[in-house]
Amino acid sequence: MKNDGNLNPLERLLKHGTGSSASDVAAYWRMHETERENWDTALMRQLARWLVEAGEPLLACDVVNEGLSRSKADVELRQILGLAHGDQGRR
């Protein structure tokens, strides 16, 4: 088992809910495109929700859109997309 110092920003976020900044998570997202192919939609939902709450609606939209490309009928992803779009309008 990894100690927390060896966890990537996304793993820290999902394990603890904290410990990663939005910029760390965004950089990790952008740099690990091939790894994302193995992520399931539940992980995409969790990450997208966190990004909306962290004030990163554009990146949340990217995450949701990738999730929807795999699961077009996912209602929860569509709801998160609506929240992200709404948040964009407030900024």
Tokens for 54, please give them. Answer: 């962290």
Q: What is the model's pTM? A: 0.77
Q: How far apart are CA 63 and CA 30, in angstroms?
A: 10
pLDDT at 75 over 60: yes
- Interval 44-48 mean pLDDT: 89
Confidence of residue 5 (pLDDT cuts 50, 70, 90): low
What pLDDT, on the 0 to 100 scale, is given for residue 22? 80
